[in-house]
Amino acid sequence: MTIPSEMKNSNELGNIQIAPEVIEIIAGLATVEIDGVAGMSGGVVGGIAELLGRKNLSKGVKVEVGQRETAVDVSIIVKYGSSIPDVAIAIQDNVKREIENMTGLTVVEVNVHVQGVDFKQEDKKEVKREEDSRVK
């Protein structure tokens, strides 16, 4: 099956084209909206996981786009203490809803790849607790 480089749709007024990068950005934004997501990961190929910066909203997102359907893979880093299954299901629901609402494409898959766990928030809380107990 050949996957076109962009989704094309025609109507009586002309053609509508949505580049895969647009779908990647929508999926990335929908992913980081979910509580428990510490950031996006470049995946196994990227090698090093980095926390999301606003500059690259499609980091850790891969899409396949057909004429009417799309499949999405997101690679994430979860916050320590978050329920991984709950976070993953919330991501799947939000990504599917946002892409379908904004593009009209049917999302057939949203695969969530958990690449790591972010402990930084917990470390900050522990330091804060130590500081609170020392100062009275």
d(C-alpha 110, C-alpha 69), whole Å: 12
The percent helix, strand, coil of the chain (3-state, each to 5) is 40, 30, 30
Q: Which of 52, 108, 102 is nearest to 75 (CA)?
A: 52
Q: Rounded distance, CA 102 to CA 31, Å? A: 15
Element (H, E) at 132: helix 120-134
At 12, is the pLDDT very low, low, confident or very high (cuts 50, 70, 90)?
Answer: confident
Digit-coded pLDDT (tens) for 71-90: 999 999 999 999 999 999 99
Distance CA 136, CA 119 (A): 28
Going along the chain from its start, the domains and CATH numbers come out as 7-134 (3.30.70.1350)
Bridge partners, 73 (sequence order): 62, 111
pTM score, two decimals?
0.75
